[in-house]
Amino acid sequence: MNKITLDLKHLRPLTLNKYIEAERKNRYLGAKLKRVGTAYTRSVFLQSMVDGVMFTWPAKLKFDWYLPDRRIDPDNWTFTQKFIFDGMLTAKLHGKSFLENDNVKNIGGFDHDFYLDKANPRLEIYEMEATHEI
């Protein structure tokens, strides 16, 4: 089962409440957060491609969140999956994309599970077999 790991310290400023706060302050600040979030996730997926870790689409994804604390609600963390999918879409290496399109043809679903790990907060994304076709 293929796995890709992201560092939560880069995703923490992109949680839903932080993003809404930025949009309310200044629409350009919200756009900057999206750019920064997509750039970070793109770099993670590019590195995974270099390392030979690719997902086979269509697939179902499992998100295992290892949180540093309980301060941020799970729905705020899961909002960052928008930036994660955008990073997958923009990660291209030698003319090959990590993910061609994030529609229901390729994404068969996703599950989120949450754990506490103060020493090593991270997000692990696993490729699971797609159980059905839409």
Handedness of CA 108, 109, 113, 118 (dihedral sign): positive
Where are the chain's structural domains?
3-129
**Taking a C-beta distance cutoff of 8 angstroms, is the pair 33, 22 a contact?**
yes
pLDDT at 116 over 70: yes
pLDDT bin (cut points 50, 70, 90) of residue 133 is low
Which pLDDT score is estimated for 55? 95
Task: Tell me which of 3.30.310, 3.30.70, 3.30.1330, 3.40.50 is the CATH number of domain 3-129.
Answer: 3.30.1330
| The two three-digit tokens of residue 127, written as one number | 């490729």
pLDDT at 41 over 80: yes
Over residues 70-86, mean pLDDT: 97
What mean pLDDT value characterizes the chain?
Answer: 95
Beta strands in 37-129 (DSSP E): 59-67, 92-93, 96-97, 107-116, 122-129
pLDDT bin (cut points 50, 70, 90) of residue 131 is low
pTM of the predicted structure, to 2 decimals: 0.92
Helix (H) or strand (E) holding 6: strand 3-7
